[in-house]
Structures are given as structure tokens and as C-alpha cells.
Amino acid sequence: MNTSTSRTGLTVSADVLAGAAATAARFAPSILNTQPWRWRVHPDQLELFAEPRRHLRVTDPDGRLLILSCGTVLHHACLTLAAQGWAAQVIRTPSMSATAPLAVLHGFEPATVAPVTRQQEQAMRTRHTDRRPVSDQPIAPPVLRAITACAPGAVRLQILTAEQVLELAAAVSRADAMRGQDPLARGELNYWTSRPVTEGIGLPPQVLPDRPAQTTVAGRGFGHAGTLPTGPGHDRSATYALLYGHSDDPTGWLQAGETLSAIWLAATAMNVSVLPLSDVVAVPGTREALRRMLKPFDHPYLALRLGIADPMPGAPPRTPRLPAAHLVEALPPNVSCREERR
């Protein structure tokens, strides 16, 4: 078993690193469930790469949603290690390169496991995307404040006013119409929403609503109906928010993904459902409309619907995942990182 010695003399094993990478890959959310990441396990570090074979080249040409997705898996891996008593240092060098890592976890040190870490790790195992309308119960202000507090730094969460929600609704339907007119975009969406469950990628019909929900802000149009009963609800009690920050580049997108993960897990622990609305940000024209809701120099990363999950039965099944062997590559123990990079 390979080990890496910390300042305290305690060691993390490569098996623990590989396990954390696999756990993160199993639970992290990603755009259209593309799982656009790859982990490489070294004896003393974990490298995270973007996976170009699962990049949505038509609808996400700059890779913003790909890198956002990689940010969620990075946060999930750090959380998994923290829940096992290991704090990691993270070097972030995000780019769309398939050969240079987006991030490297190293310098593992033993750390006390905080109760909130345990709670978030539990939430990681139950979190899922629910595209059905949320309940009529509004989110209590202290809960909303606790969720907003998960984005205190370079990436922040702005709760939208009633007027801004109407602007968001208009922008979402414009983005949807533009996608609908683009045959290449339709083809890409159709590919990722018609994979058999056994492939472990994309969205199977079981997680897609059987008809559009009665909502002010429409959910993403998938081009065809699924089999998930939508139910009678209306999103009238939902809260809408923008995740935003200063830099519209891979560094900002990776941080946004990490923050999205932190928000989503905290929300899950408080029974709040989170639904990302990403097309409205991926389409340049409507992204600009969202930008006007923010202060000058800020950029939107994602729109989010937040709401108390509807207690009605029929929650969507888990979206499938690729086997860990596809996503986690372990190097033989005698290959050092330096040798391997040559």
C-alpha cells in the first residue's frame, strides 16, 4: 500500500485517495450527467482532469459548465477526505487542457472531523436533482440565510426579487427557444438524454418530467418528455437565485462549482431542493440579460431554483453513474509524479 507522510508523521494511503476520488465521482452532480472528469491517483497526491470526451462542444463551447461540474467533484473529494479526518491542500490551475490537471490535492494532514463535515458528507449521499415543482411552503428566512452564507467569498449567491424572477423567466424561455432553433444543439441534447441507464451517463427518461410543470420560470426543455410524474404543483413558493462572481474564466467557474456543491449539500441537509438552470447562462445573449441583474463587473455562473422539496411520493430515482474504473486511474506504486509527467 502506498503512503504519503504528513508533518505529524501520519500517512494517508493511496487507497484512501482512490476511494475519495471514486466516492466524489459517484455522487457529484454534473451538466446533463456528463461526469466530465477524470482522477489520477498518485502515492501522495490526487490530480483532477477535465475529460474532453464528455465535453458538450456545441452547447458549452467554452467549457464553463464542464469546469463548473469539475468544481463540484473537487469539493466532494475534499469533503470525503475531511470526513475521514484528512485535510488537503488544493492547487487550482483550471484550463480546458486534457493533459494538465485542473486541480491537485496534496499535503494531506490529519484533521478533526467537524460535525458539519459529517452532516455534509451524509447529504452528499442523498442529494439528487428533482425537476418536479417544489412545495407551496416557502423557505424560512433563517434557512435561506444559512444557504447564502455558504457562498461568502469570491463566489456569491444573489436572491432575486419578484421583478427579477420575471426577467429570469423571460431569459430562460428565450434561451430555450434559441436552443430549439439550433439543430446541432438539439442533437447534442438528444444524445445525452437518450442514453440507456446501463451506460451510466446522461439522463434516462425516469428522471425527466412527463410534462412541463406549471411554473413561472420554466425548467430546462429536454426536447422530449420523460416518465417522471410531474405532479400538480406550481413553483409559486420557489426562491430563485444567481450564483455569481468577478471572473468569467476557468478559475471563476471552478470556484463556482465548488461553491455550488457546498450550497447544494447544505440545502439538502435542510430539506431544500436545488435545481440548476444552466442554459440561460450558457447562451451568450441571455447570460448578458442575467448580468444586468448584478453589480457592474460581476458575472453570472448559474441560476438556481430553491424550494422545500414536495413531500408527495414518487421522488425520481438516482441518476446512473459511470463505474469508478472509468473515472479513477491509479498509477503503479513505483511511478513517481515527476517521472509520470515527463
Ligand X SMILES: Cc1cc2nc3c(=O)[nH]c(=O)nc-3n(C[C@H](O)[C@H](O)[C@H](O)COP(=O)(O)O)c2cc1C
| CA 50 from centroid of its chain's CA atoms | 14
DSSP 237: G
Nearest distance, CB of residue 44 and ligand X, angstroms: 29
**Contact status: 319 vs ligand X (CB under 6 A):** yes
4 versus 30: smaller Cβ distance to ligand X: 30
**Contact status: 194 vs ligand X (CB under 6 A):** no
**Cell 412527463 belongs to residue:** 210
Nearest distance, CB of residue 59 and ligand X, angstroms: 10
Beta strands in the chain (DSSP E): 3-5, 11-13, 37-41, 46-50, 86-92, 103-110, 155-159, 239-245, 272-277, 299-308, 328-330
Stretch that binds ligand X, among 25-33, 55-63, 115-123, 190-198 (CB under 6 A): 25-33
4 versus 34: smaller Cβ distance to ligand X: 34
Q: Which of 203, 228, 289, 290 binds ligand X (CB under 6 A)?
A: 203
Site string for ligand X, 44-83 (x = CB under 6 A): ---------------------x--xx--x-----------
**Angle, helix 284-291 to helix 162-180, in steps of 10 degrees:** 170
DSSP 160: P
Nearest distance, CB of residue 68 and ligand X, angstroms: 4
Nearest distance, CB of residue 275 and ligand X, angstroms: 6
Q: Which of 133, 233, 276, 307 binds ligand X (CB under 6 A)?
A: 276
158-162, long-range: CB < 8 A, 24+ apart:
158/241, 158/242, 158/244, 158/293, 158/294, 159/239, 159/240, 159/241, 160/239, 160/240, 160/241, 160/242, 160/293
42 versus 75: smaller Cβ distance to ligand X: 75
> Strand 46-50 vs strand 103-110: parallel, antiparallel, or unpaired?
antiparallel
- Close Cβ partners of 296 (under 8 Å, ≥ 6 residues apart): none
Nearest distance, CB of residue 230 and ligand X, angstroms: 13
Q: Which residue has its beta carbon closest to ligand X?
A: 29
**Contact status: 29 vs ligand X (CB under 6 A):** yes
17 versus 263: smaller Cβ distance to ligand X: 263
Please state, in angstroms and rounded to a whole number, the distance separating the CA atoms of residues 310 and 315. 9
29 versus 43: smaller Cβ distance to ligand X: 29
Nearest distance, CB of residue 301 and ligand X, angstroms: 8
14 versus 308: smaller Cβ distance to ligand X: 308
Q: Which of 2, 4, 23, 33 binds ligand X (CB under 6 A)?
A: 33
Q: What are phi and psi of 126, to 5 degrees?
A: -110, -15
Q: How many residues bind ligand X (CB under 6 A)?
A: 21
CA distances from 123 to 40, 116, 201, 257, 275 (A): 25, 10, 22, 17, 16
**Contact status: 30 vs ligand X (CB under 6 A):** yes
**Contact status: 277 vs ligand X (CB under 6 A):** yes
87 versus 270: smaller Cβ distance to ligand X: 270
Element (H, E) at 176: helix 162-180
Site string for ligand X, 119-148 (x = CB under 6 A): ---------xx-x-----------------
Q: How buried is residue 32: exposed, middle or buried, by Cβ count under 10 Å (0-12/13-18/19+)?
A: buried
Q: How buried is residue 168: exposed, middle or buried, by Cβ count under 10 Å (0-12/13-18/19+)?
A: buried
Q: Which of 31, 48, 102, 289 binds ligand X (CB under 6 A)?
A: 31
List residues near ligand X by CB under 6 A.
29-33, 65, 68-69, 72, 128-129, 131, 203, 219-220, 275-279, 319
